[in-house]
Each structure stands twice: as C-alpha cells, then as structure tokens.
Structure 1
Amino acid sequence: MGPSKCGTLATAVTVICTVTLLVTPGVTFANPTPTPMPSLSPSAPLPETRDLKAVRKQLDQLYHDAAVATDAYNAAEEASKKQSARIIELAKENVKLQHKVAYLKDRAGAAVRAQYRTGAMLPEARLILSDDPQMLLDNAAILLQGERAIHGLIEEMIRAQQDLEQYAKDASAQWQKLEGQRQTKAAAAKEVARQIAAAERLEARLEKKEKERLAQLEREAELRAQTAWLNTGVLKNSKGQATEAGMRAAQFAMDQLGKPYVWGAEGPDSYDCSGLTSQAWAAAGHPIVRTSQEQWNWLKRVDIKDMRPGDLIIYFEDASHVGMYIGDGAMIHAPRPGRNVTIAGAGSMPILGVVRPGA
C-alpha cells in the first residue's frame, strides 16, 4: 500500500478517535447493551407517541429486524448463485456424456460389423474349419481381442448411460433447491421491505426538531456505549498489527465512505453491512462468505484484545450486523437504510465477537 493511502486511513482514524475517545476521564455510564424488545409487526398500528426514547427503541428494533431479513435474503441469494452454477455444470457434463454415449455406440457397432463383414459364416466356425495351425492361432487371438474390445465398449457405454441418468437426477434436485431458494429470497425481500416501510412511517410522523433530537439521542447513546466499552480496559494491552491484506481490506472499506446503505447491495455504488466487508476482503485477495452470520460461523474467531485492522466485529446476539475494525477503537460499517458508510466507535453497539478473514 502506498504512503498516501496509509495516510488517508491514519487521518480518518485520528478523526474518529477525536470524536469518540475525548470523554471526561473517570465518568461511568450504564450498561450500553439495550434491553431486548419484542419483534414489532410492521402491519400493526404504530403507537401515537412523542417519547423520542421510545421511538428510538422502536426504530432500532425495526431496523434490526430488517437486518435479520436482509441476512436471510443474502444467504438465499448466495445459495441460488451456487445452485445455478451447479446446474450449468451439470448441463455441460450431460452434453459431454451424450456425445460419449453416441460415440461408444458407433464404435461398438463398427466393431461388430467388422467381425462379420467377411461373410455369413460365424468367426468361430471359420476358426474351427481352418487347416493352417498358425492361422488357427492367429485367428483365435484376433477373435479374442475383438470380443474383449466389444465387451469393453459395451460396458463403458452402459456406465456412461448410468452417469447420464445420475446427472439428470442431480440436475432435477438442483432445480428443486433453486426454486426453494428463490421462494426464500422472495419472502425475505418482502420482510425487509415491510420492516423498512414501518420504520419510515414512524420517522415520517416526526417533526424536524424531533428528528434532530432523535439523531442527537442516537449519537449520545453510541458515545455512552463506546465510552463504557473503553473504560473496561479491553484495548489497554492491544498490540494487534495489521497484515498487508488487512490494510488493503481496510483501505477498500475507507474508500467507500459516504456511499449509501442499500440492503442486498455489494457495491460499487452502495452496500449493506456484510456486502461492504465481503467486498473489502475480496479486493484484498481473500474472498469470504457473504453474510454477517456466515462470517461469524465460518471465519476464525479472535479475542477482542488481539484484534487488528481488517478484522470483522460481529454485533448483536444473532450476528445480524458486522463492521470492520480500523484501529484505535474505531470501525467502519454500513449502518442501516437511510444512512451511509461511516466510521463509528467499535464498542458503540453490543459486540458478539471478532473474526479474522485470511487466517
């Protein structure tokens, strides 16, 4: 990575640290982990309320549910891509086998025709009636070779036909799976739209000053959570040094700052949370699984005190959100609908754990 890119990353980290880490020493705050709320039905009437703290909790829950549905959509999308690729692969193999079966049939037919081309008398009869001992031996060897060749061709043709039937069955099974994933994806997409629409309806009821106050409450809550997290001393002895790949991934993510969150998006103009992290690591030369839940389940887990730039921080108990650590207690992420890719305190949301791509 060139000096200019490293400088860009360092400058951004310095800015976010100035915002998130300059807090009054010794001040303590309440536990930043929010109390779990029951799922809200987007079709249910929204309560008439001007309690902005209650509104914030409702919005958090709605966008959280949208994130869960987005993960389900992304997982179904990835499965559909794999199954479509497998169907194409099976179709190509099917065509090859069809050509092979036709070729073997031609060869077997030609071999049989060649053995009987000399006349109506069977080769066995000609062999027995021969008076020449040497011819007798030569004909016996040729006859044996011919029969073995024909039997071999027939056996190979039978195996090819069986393979052809199996490929057809596999393709049929993959088509059924693909259809199931399409239905799952459609249902997830509908659920995402419902949750986001409910959040937008709730926000639309607020006046301008209320929206500004709501944004201020969110910033204050994030700062309290970040401060409480840092006050635990979790980063006191942190010595994680970024690898070259980790710095490339972090720089890619930094280059996306300001681009809008769009659920299901993987760039280049917009991203969802795991779309940003997966594309960042793909750009670094280490492709990873697509969704935040898959990233939590499949990537190597590391202690928070050992995390380094490029590592992924998984949030909430259901692993429904992910951000990328960029150092000095900060991370970059695509937050939610209506927001842009931004830098935030790594402890501004409840952390489930940390995973390391490329390990």
Structure 2
Amino acid sequence: MARALANSHNHRHSGSRYRRGEHRPLRFLQRSAIALLLTVTALVSPAGPAHAEPTLAEIEAELDAQWLKLEPVIEQYNKVHSELKANEKKAAALDEKIRPLSLQANLAADEIGEVANRYYRTGPSSELNALLRTGSPTSLADQLVVLDRISKRRQEKITAVLETRDRYLEERQALDELITKQQAQDKTLAEQRKTIDAEIKRLERARNAAYQSTGYTGGSGASGPCPAVSVGGAAGTAVRTACAQLGKPYVWGATGPNAFDCSGLTQYAWASAGVSLTHYTGTQWNQGSSVSRANAKPGDLVFFFSDLHHVGIYIGNGLMVHAPRAGQPVQMENIDNMPLAGFKRVG
C-alpha cells in the first residue's frame, strides 16, 4: 500500500514536472539574467553612504587637517636652517678677527727674537741705546737687564693679543659645536622635507582630482581692495608689497619673489621696507612688540595657533594677506578663520 502511494506521488510529481518542462529553460534563463543584472548593478552602482565620495568641503577639511601637521615641521626646518646660516656667518666673522690677531702675535714674537739676535750680533740697537742713555750700564749683565725689559714690554703686548685671540677661539669652538649639532638637525629635517614634499604632492593630486570637474581653484580667500585700509610709511610699503604677491604659489621654504611660504612672505614684504626678519615664525614673533587686536594696524604681523606655526600680514578690517598652504596661492583672508595667537608690530 505504501509503495503504491509512493508510486502514485511520484507519478503525479513526474507528470507535473513534465507538464512544466517545456517552459523550464526560458524561466531558468530569465532568473539567471536577473541574477547577473543584480550582480553587475551592485558592482557598478555608487557605493552606499559608508563609502560615498568625499565632498569638496570634506576634501578641503582633510587638507587643512593634514597641513596642521605639516606646517610646524616646515617652520622647524626654517628655524634650524636660519640659525645655522646665522651661526656660520658668525663663525666666518670670528675667523676674520682671529686671523690678524694670530699674525700680530707671531710678528711680535718674531720681533722679540730679532731684537735679541741683533743685539748679540751687532750690539745694542738704536732702540736699545735710547734706553741705555738714561742708565749707561757698563756690564753685559746690565745690558741684558735692559734687553729683558724691552722683551717684557713686547711680551705684554703679545699676551694681550693672545688673550683676545684665545677668547675668540673659545667662542669659535663653542660655535663649531653648535654648528655641528645644527648641521645634523638640518640634515634630518632636510630628509623629512623629502617626505613632506611627497605628502604635499599627494594632497595636491587628491585636491586637483576632486576639483577638476568643478574648475575650483580658490581656497577661502576674501575679495576686495588690498590693502583694505590705506597706510603710509614702512608699514604701507610692506603691505603693498604683500598685496602685490596675491596669486603666487605656496612653496615651503620659499622666500620669493616667485613663490612663498608663510614666514617667507612676511619676511619678503618687510624686507621691501628695509626691515630684516628671520625666516621662521617663532623668531618673527620675538622680533616685534605685542599689540592688541583693538590696536592692530596694517603691516602688523598676525600669528595663529598656540605653537605660532602660521603668520600673515595684517591689512586692516579684519583681513590679512598670507601664504596659506600647498595648493592655495597667496591670498587675502579673514583672520577669524584660524585660531588667533596675537599681533606683533615690527619696523
């Protein structure tokens, strides 16, 4: 009985498959095509929100965040490099002082030897005779005493010269040790510079790729007359020079005239007014006197961030000219767009 029922079930099932069998290939192909279409669609369709392409604002924010890490290293390089050049200049100046002192001491020592030699060869010189007129010594011993006095006078001169020279030599030795240390730091930072340059280029490529379709080239620069407030004197010269650099590219370590980094721009602007600034934000901060925001005037240096790693030149009405970062040219910008550290007046 069970076998009969099973055979009956199989017969019905087989019949059912048979009746549908002639349509099965078409439906199978339809299902396969749908599955394939869904697979391809999943591959070529835009990713979900978790993998969405970043917006332009997000790209700029990422670049700004990366730049906050890069710029302090750049300014540290500027600091060490500027100090190294200054100390090398000091060393050269000390060499110029040491060289004639050594020569003077050698000549004086030779002169003493020559006096003694001449005395024993030819008798008292006219110089020695002048001294002998007052004493008229009659023995060789008396004459040697006088000669000794001459030697002592000249030896005193030599001693004074040598003391000065030795003091310079001590300074030179300390300077040599510092230069050696700074040269090592400069080399290390120069190697880091290669890594930084590679990172900057990567960020620029990412930025250019993100903005290529929009034609965006700007940054967050402000528009309007530059300078925003007219000013005369040295500050006016510095401000007008800074304004004349608008649109020029940022290149770290550059001090103009074709490209700038932030402290290079302020150095260049104030150099046009006859004021020498060091190519390093930290030193520029110490080269000026502090002024409040309420008393800030065009030409003042305006610094940002707690470590003072960015600087611009104030042009009035809450605006500055600065070299922002790689990928953004020299531009005007509102000083409230970054954390303000303070103002310094130079000149």
1:23-74, CA deviations, whole angstroms, 9 ceiling, x for partnerless residues?
xxxxxxxxxxxxxxxxxxxxxxxx9873445544332122122211111111
Distance 1:288 1:319 in 2: 15
Are the equivalent residues in 2 in contact too, given 1:77–1:185 (CA < 8 A)? Answer: yes
2:339 equivalent to 1:350: yes
CA shift at 1:338, angstroms? Answer: 2.1
Distance 2:72 2:63 in 1: 14
CA shift at 1:155, angstroms? Answer: 2.7
Partner of 1:266: 255
Q: Which of 256, 270, 274 does residue 245 from structure 2 map onto?
A: 256
Distance 1:136 1:316 in 2: 78
Partner of 1:304: 293
Distance 2:198 2:266 in 1: 26
Partner of 1:72: 76
Distance 2:264 2:182 in 1: 19
Q: Which of 95, 102, 116 does residue 112 from structure 1 map onto?
A: 116
Are the equivalent residues in 2 in contact too, given 1:70–1:189 (CA < 8 A)? Answer: no
Specify whether residues 217 and 174 from structure 1 end up closer, same or farther in structure 2 by C-alpha distance, changes over 3 A only.
closer
Distance 1:72 1:273 in 2: 13
Partner of 1:83: 87
Q: TM-score, normalized by length of structure 1?
A: 0.67
- Higher mean C-alpha displacement, 137-146 vs 184-193: 137-146
Residue 336 of structure 2 aligns to a residue whose secondary structure is coil
CA shift at 1:357, angstroms? Answer: 0.5
- Higher mean C-alpha displacement, 191-200 vs 66-75: 191-200
CA shift at 1:143, angstroms? Answer: 7.3
2:287 equivalent to 1:289: no
Specify whether residues 60 and 48 from structure 1 end up closer, same or farther in structure 2 by C-alpha distance, changes over 3 A only.
farther
Partner of 1:154: 155
CA shift at 1:335, angstroms? Answer: 1.1
Look up the equivalent residue of 2:161 and give its one-letter code: A
Residues 13-92 of structure 1: pairs in structure 2 closer than 5 A: 50-52=53-55, 54-92=58-96
CA shift at 1:344, angstroms? Answer: 1.5
Unaligned runs of 5+ in 1: 1-46, 121-133, 227-239
Specify whether residues 218 and 72 from structure 1 end up closer, same or farther in structure 2 by C-alpha distance, changes over 3 A only.
same
Are the equivalent residues in 1 in contact too, given 2:59–2:210 (CA < 8 A)? Answer: no
2:321 equivalent to 1:326: no
Q: TM-score, normalized by length of structure 2?
A: 0.70
1:310-356, CA deviations, whole angstroms, 9 ceiling, x for partnerless residues?
01110112111111111222211111112221112222222111110
Query: Looking at CA atoms only, which structure, 1 or 2, has the larger radius of gyration?
Result: 2
Are the equivalent residues in 2 in contact too, given 1:101–1:161 (CA < 8 A)? Answer: yes
Alpha-carbon RMSD: 3.5
Are the equivalent residues in 1 in contact too, given 2:204–2:326 (CA < 8 A)? Answer: no
Q: Which structure ranks higher in relative contact order (CA pairs < 8 Å, sequence separation ≥ 6)?
A: 1
2:150 equivalent to 1:187: no
Distance 1:214 1:67 in 2: 26
Distance 2:177 2:302 in 1: 36
CA shift at 1:213, angstroms? Answer: 7.4
Distance 1:327 1:206 in 2: 31
- Higher mean C-alpha displacement, 65-74 vs 155-164: 155-164
2:65 equivalent to 1:96: no
CA shift at 1:302, angstroms? Answer: 0.3
1:262-288, CA deviations, whole angstroms, 9 ceiling, x for partnerless residues?
111111221111111012112112212
Residues 94-243 of structure 1: pairs in structure 2 closer than 5 A: 94-117=98-121, 137-139=135-137, 146-202=147-203, 204-205=205-206, 208=209, 219=220, 242-243=231-232
1:236-258, CA deviations, whole angstroms, 9 ceiling, x for partnerless residues?
xxxx9845110011111122222
Q: Which of 306, 330, 340 does residue 329 from structure 2 map onto?
A: 340
Unaligned runs of 5+ in 2: 1-49, 125-131, 224-228
Distance 1:280 1:323 in 2: 10
Distance 2:213 2:338 in 1: 21
